[in-house]
């Protein structure tokens, strides 16, 4: 509802690399259960924003409030514990382990923060891992090594791994990059249903405008580090300022 406090509130976020102002005074909000797309041309500052929210980069300036708590400048591990999950642009699962083992390892990591003796401990997380795989539609692939999966299925394993930490906020940097057009919709629909079921807020970057317009609740647009437009997909699609940064017209 409109009264609920935002899950994520970013205020005046800024980061420079040398002389390049990669992110410049960016502010936006994201609510639980919402799919928010962050778009903009290459070099606009999208990944830099993500990396400040997940703790990989410390902002020069600004606040990142997660349910009211400022996480700006905290360590990645602490931010992860506070409920910020992420999937990676490049498939980051362990290829020689099975689908099930990857998810079990994520469950163990949630509790202990270390991977040692995970094979022995894994047995106790088997049911929970299988339940997660069932939710993402991969239960039948549980015992296959990740290295043998199709790319789209691998991206789905990454989603299950991210969910193992029970995130409140999920960051997805180009989740459908490299996927066949037909697979993209399926991954975003799965993301949508998991977001609704679990009340997770999702912030994602995306190159395909078709995916953005079909699956985002709201869109924010960055260009040269600044937020230049914000609104529902149908309005962003017709916004001349957005067309200009993409097509220079
Ligand atoms: P996007 O993800 O929207 O393509 P980025 O956030 O990756 O954009 O980059 C924004 C700007 O910051 C670009 O000009 C990029 O070259 C620069 N940049 C990003 N990361 C670094 C870095 N680690 N060191 C120097 N410059 C960087
Ligand atoms: Mg990027």
**DSSP code string of 190-208:** HHHHHHHHHT-EEEEE-S-
The pLDDT of residue 1: 46
DSSP state of 224: T
CB half-sphere exposure, 198, CA atoms < 13 A: 23
End-to-end CA distance of the chain: 38
Distance in Å, CA 151 to ligand 1 centroid: 26
- All structural domains of the chain, each given as residue ranges with its CATH number in brackets, are 1-83+168-249 (3.40.50.300), 97-166 (no CATH)
CB half-sphere exposure, 36, CA atoms < 13 A: 26
CA–CA separation, 41 and 221 (whole Å): 9
Find the radius of gyration of the CA atoms of the chain. Answer: 18
The pLDDT of residue 105: 79
Q: Strand 61-66 to strand 8-17: parallel, antiparallel, or no bridges (unpaired)?
A: antiparallel
Q: Which residue stretches of the chain have pLDDT < 70?
A: 1-4, 88-93, 111-124, 249
Predicted TM-score (pTM) of the model is: 0.90
The pLDDT of residue 44: 96
Atom number in ligand 1 closest to CA 41: 3
Q: Which residues line ligand 1 (CB under 6 A)?
A: 17, 20, 22, 40, 42-48
Distance in Å, CA 88 to ligand 1 centroid: 16
In this predicted complex, what is the ipTM? Answer: 0.98
Place of tokens 């910020």: 84
The pLDDT of residue 4: 64
């Amino acid at each position: 509802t409109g009264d609920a406090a935002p899950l994520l509130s970013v205020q005046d976020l800024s980061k420079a690399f040398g002389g390049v102002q990669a992110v410049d005074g960016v502010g936006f909000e994201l609510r639980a259960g919402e799919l928010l797309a962050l778009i903009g041309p290459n070099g606009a500052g999208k990944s830099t924003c993500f990396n400040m929210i997940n703790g990989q980069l410390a902002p020069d300036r600004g606040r990142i409030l997660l349910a009211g708590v400022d996480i700006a400048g905290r360590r990645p591990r602490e931010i992860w514990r506070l409920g910020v999950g992420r999937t990676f642009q490049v498939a980051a699962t362990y290829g020689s382990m099975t689908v099930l083992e990857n998810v079990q390892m994520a469950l163990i990591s949630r509790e202990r923060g270390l991977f040692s003796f995970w094979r022995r401990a894994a047995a106790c997380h088997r049911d929970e891992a299988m339940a997660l795989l069932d939710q993402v539609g991969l239960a039948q692939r549980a015992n296959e090594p990740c290295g043998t999966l199709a790319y789209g299925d691998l991206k789905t394993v990454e989603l299950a791994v991210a969910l193992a930490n029970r995130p409140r906020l999920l960051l997805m940097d180009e989740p459908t990059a490299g996927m066949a057009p037909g697979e993209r919709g399926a991954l975003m629909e799965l993301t949508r249903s998991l977001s609704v079921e679990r009340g997770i807020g999702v912030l994602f970057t995306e190159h395909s405008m078709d995916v953005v317009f079909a699956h985002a609740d709201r869109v924010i647009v960055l260009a040269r580090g600044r937020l230049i437009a914000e609104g529902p997909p149908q309005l962003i699609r017709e916004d001349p300022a957005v067309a200009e940064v993409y097509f220079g017209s």
